[in-house]
Homo-oligomer: A and B are copies of this chain.
Amino acid sequence: MSPARRPRAKSRAQRNGKAPRKGALKAARPIAREQITERTAERSLVISIPRLFLYHRGLEDALRAGDKVLTSQELAARIGRGMSSTQIRKDLSYLGSFGRRGQGYDVTVLVKKLGRVLGLDRDWRIAIVGFGNLGHALGTFLELREEKFHIAAIFDSDPQLVGSTWHGVTIRDETELEAVLPELGCGIGIIAVPASVAQRVAERLVRAGVGALLNFAPVNLSVDAGVAVRTIDLASELSLLTHHLS
């Protein structure tokens, strides 16, 4: 370590003579007593997955625009809103070294790498439960716009709907869920049913082998640890916006 290398304040470790703390990695933390909830299980550690999606989208845009090489600054500018080039470099460095110093990042290489990390290089089969207005709209949207996602099963409790087909998929009665779903190999379930039955539907989907749920009912689903849940609550989203307005 050469002299004149640390013009900022002295490091905390130097000041108090303690060894750097990062090594321990929360080894012996006392287990929380007041809650049975398992301790998150998800280790996001510095790099955040949602941010990687932003990068991926930005890079895809750049690719469409014809860029072959992109610097972290250019990517940050493309993404906009508060993304710093440093943050991008830091995140990407956790996936390995893909850039060339002095040049930037090869767009195709990086898109491919991110795609693999994010699981975008595979196709996914989806089951929709609840094929009313919302379920129908979601299905249409995905079927038309997203090549990676295929609607492989549809369930509803409305006798008027059950039996008809939609884009080649037969709409089945909700009671058949456990019987039919396992052999269809759907990893993802979309819950577009009223709030009152959402929890029950979630449990049944999980029992049928679905490992991830996208929930549009305004309830906090509780499912086994190991099952991923994302809830999109339109009312909450709107309320967030109103909060900003007042």
Contact = CB atoms under 8 A, between A and B. Distances in A.
A92 interface: no
Interface in A71-110: 73, 76-77, 79-82, 84-85
Nearest to A236: B53
Interface string A56-83: 0110000000000000010011011110
Interface in A207-232: 211-214, 218, 220, 222, 228, 230, 232
Contacts of A187: 242, 245
A138 B230 contact: no
Q: Chain A, interface size: which category?
A: 35 or more
A140 B220 CA distance: 22
A168 B12 CA distance: 65
A222 B35 contact: no
Given A35-B76, A134-B141, A141-B133, A188 B241 contact: yes
Given A53-B236, A79-B220, 5 more contacts: A15-B16, A32-B84, A133-B140, A136-B137, A212-B241
Interface of A: 12, 15-16, 32, 34-35, 37, 40, 49-50, 53-54, 57-58, 73, 76-77, 79-82, 84-85, 117-120, 122, 124, 126, 133-134, 136-138, 140-142, 145-146, 148-149, 187-188, 211-214, 218, 220, 222, 228, 230, 232, 234-246
